[in-house]
């Protein structure tokens, strides 16, 4: 995301990309995710958990986020669901 946006931080990337895409969900690992819809952005904190395996974590996050959006939930709720 930082490379695409030409920024050095994920927060800055989120701020820039929120105006270029209808939806964004930028994962930040233990720092949660930055989500946006139609130019309005939010930070969603991560849940405290024991990490066992990171394989597929981004795919699962994307699937949860998109599934929730398609069910009509808010972008913030969808970010938490992802």
Distance, in Å, from the CA atom of 9 to the CA atom of 81, rounded to the nearest integer, reads 23
Q: Which two tokens stand for residue 76?
A: 């913030």
Asked whether the predicted pLDDT for residue 82 surpasses 80, the reply is no
Q: What pLDDT does 48 receive?
A: 86
DSSP conformation letters of 4-57? HHT-SSHHHHHHHHTTTSSEEEEE-GGG-EEEEETTEEEEEPPPP------TTH
User: Which tens digit of pLDDT belongs to each residue from 33-79?
Assistant: 999 988 888 999 988 888 888 888 888 888 988 899 899 998 888 88
Q: What pLDDT does 61 receive?
A: 85
Round to the nearest angstrom and report the end-to-end CA distance of the chain: 17
pTM of the shown model = 0.82
């Amino acid at each position: 995301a930082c490379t695409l946006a030409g920024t050095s931080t994920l927060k800055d990337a989120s701020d820039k990309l929120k105006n270029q895409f209808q939806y964004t969900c930028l994962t930040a690992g233990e720092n949660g995710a930055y989500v946006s819809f139609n130019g309005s952005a939010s930070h969603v904190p991560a849940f405290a958990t024991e990490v066992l395996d990171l394989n597929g974590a981004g795919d699962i996050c994307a699937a949860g986020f998109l599934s929730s959006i398609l069910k009509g939930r808010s972008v913030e709720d969808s970010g938490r669901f992802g």
